Amino acid sequence: MCLSIPSRVTKIDKISNMATIDTMGVSREASLDLIEEEHIQIGDYVLIHIGFIMNKIDEKDALLSLETYREILVILEAEDER
């Protein structure tokens, strides 16, 4: 099973067809090769699979998902402390 954490696009390089994305504070590069580039803009939330942006998602849904991931991390950290 693969889980994709919503990531926010922070930069687009049209020459390399790559985007810089922020995933819960971690910055990385992702390819735009598998999505129509004109549909992705800085500030959009996207889902990544093996280094490729696969689709754009609604900001409200992205923020709800990110909050759920943060809640899961808090629970896992609490369990690790026990």
* CATH number of the domain within which 70 lies: 2.30.30.140
User: So what's the pLDDT on residue 67?
Assistant: 93
pLDDT of 17: 94
Return the amino acid letter for 17: N
Number of domains in the chain: 1
The dihedral through the CA atoms of 11, 54, 52, 76 has a sign that is positive
Cβ atoms within 10 Å of 40's Cβ, excluding its own: 18
Q: What is the full per-residue pLDDT of the chain (82 aa) written as tens digits? A: 567 899 999 999 999 999 999 999 999 999 999 997 668 999 999 999 999 999 999 999 999 999 998 999 999 998 888 8
pLDDT score for 39: 85
Task: Check the CA dihedral 31-36-41-45 and report its sign.
Answer: negative
Q: Strands 45-49 and 26-31, how do they pair?
A: unpaired
Q: Which domain holds residue 38?
A: 7-81
